[in-house]
Structure 1
């Protein structure tokens, strides 16, 4: 395995500050790492330093990118004679909520999917949910307004704000049934080759079940406790672009490098 991190925009020989601790932990674990300039990559140029070894299995750890951009990264890595461990199809599967929803539907809030220009009030007229959580295929609205709509008439407002603050609605619109959840109980797990891992070593059975249903070599699973006590799946993500959250860098490096 060979790790690929974004470099510091002002110091090409160093990892971006957001990934510096993890970069150091991975190298201490004996994993070879390369850096590349993310800004140059976005401009159509890719150069890893040190060069990625031929036939290496590469794991990217860096900023979120669209599925189309990930295809370009896959091609760039392939041009070095190496392969991304996660294929573009696998990346898209975990990155876009509609891709994984059917396989995990029983564990996660009911969700409906719409095009950006849909008439949400009409399309959701029969839902009669206690509330509506609105996001695009990837992210929710993180401003003070938040992503919760008390009525269907507020859904369009939130979609417009997502577009305003993020520059686009990526993929389409997801409207999720609002459930009574305890946000302070949120925990992130990582799944590697079908095996689930926790920062404290304790993996709930429901996370193990989810791990067997998703076709990807490396992804994250975000769980939160409902007021009734059950654990609910609130998000799945490609592991390469999922931050560690509460995970210590050393623990993350141990799991990713050795799978234990």
Structure 2
């Protein structure tokens, strides 16, 4: 097994500074590492050039900046041409990276959701009707604009179709070229406290951390993942993160599932704590 890290934009022979600590920890733990050009992959440039420094005949895990499902597919194809493969294949990445791929398996643990294909108003109105009236949040298949909460995320009442569409359109505008798939509407549930990030390898939770947005809020000791574990295992995804938040009635709910290769590590979690849980074979 080998780890792939993105290159530094200004110093392409070095690991991107954001991941340098993880690369150092990986070397100390006897991992082989290689570098890939993230910007070339994300921009749709020649993927063969982006992976030119990766040895042949390896099984690799990527640890780097987020890639679209399309870009990840390009990475997988370029590595395959060299006789290497990703531990998480392109189909698995797609299912973990975009909400429609994992929602059905986790529907009992996450807010009710409906989504569109594309950005048309007709599909959006249909998705709104599927959830009925009441508050909701809007995002795309892979990401929300939660830092623009009232402007481009929170919809006070789905029954107000014009207002809901204004918020959704603003979200799509802010996402720009990164907009993925279509609109996702999720029933609003009130949460309390900070989110928790859990790290899963082969359907087993191996690490529980704070969320990167709130690194100084440690996860509570009473977090019980027993009921969730079979659902995560059933997804058959090699490496994912699951973000959870406590609803105001005390129930823990899944806010997001994402591919672990592109999930950020909280600043106060030691790099070796993450590298140690990664599969070696």
- Aligned ranges 1:201-240 → 2 under 5 Å: 204-240=225-261
Aligned partners of 2:14 and 2:130: how far apart in 1?
A: 54
Residues 196, 211 of structure 1: 8 Å contact kept = no
> Which residue of structure 2 aligns with residue 161 of structure 1?
170
Which ranges of 4 or more aligned residues in structure 1 deviate by more than 4 Å? 200-203
Residues 5, 35 of structure 2: 8 Å contact kept = yes
CA gap 1:142/1:33 in 2 versus in 1, 3 angstroms = same
Q: Is 205-214 or 168-177 further displaced after alignment?
A: 205-214
- Superposition deviation, residue 185 in structure 1: 3.1
CA gap 1:47/1:185 in 2 versus in 1, 3 angstroms = closer
Deviations 1:116-167 (A, max 9, x none): 1134456524634441110000111144335111022333122212222221
**SS, match of residue 18 in structure 1:** helix
- Aligned ranges 1:29-178 → 2 under 5 Å: 29-41=29-41, 42=43, 43-45=45-47, 46-48=49-51, 51-115=53-117, 116-119=119-122, 120-121=124-125, 123-125=127-129, 127-144=131-148, 145-152=151-158, 153=161, 154-168=163-177, 169-178=179-188
Q: Is 234-243 or 199-208 further displaced after alignment?
A: 199-208
> Which residue of structure 2 aligns with residue 10 of structure 1?
10
Aligned partners of 1:191 and 1:149: how far apart in 2?
A: 32
- The TM-score with structure 1 as length reference comes to 0.90
Aligned partners of 2:127 and 2:262: how far apart in 1?
A: 32
1:247 pairs with 2:266: no
- Superposition deviation, residue 203 in structure 1: 6.2
Residues 197, 203 of structure 1: 8 Å contact kept = no
- Superposition deviation, residue 229 in structure 1: 1.1
Residues 107, 233 of structure 1: 8 Å contact kept = yes
RMSD: 2.3
- Superposition deviation, residue 33 in structure 1: 0.7
- Superposition deviation, residue 196 in structure 1: 1.2
CA gap 1:29/1:158 in 2 versus in 1, 3 angstroms = farther
> Which residue of structure 2 aligns with residue 179 of structure 1?
189
Residues 7, 36 of structure 2: 8 Å contact kept = yes
**SS, match of residue 23 in structure 2:** helix
CA gap 1:47/1:95 in 2 versus in 1, 3 angstroms = closer
Residues 141, 161 of structure 1: 8 Å contact kept = no
CA gap 1:173/1:81 in 2 versus in 1, 3 angstroms = same
> Which residue of structure 2 aligns with residue 26 of structure 1?
26
Deviations 1:214-247 (A, max 9, x none): 1211111111111111110111111111112363
> Which residue of structure 2 aligns with residue 199 of structure 1?
208
**SS, match of residue 157 in structure 1:** helix
- Superposition deviation, residue 103 in structure 1: 0.9
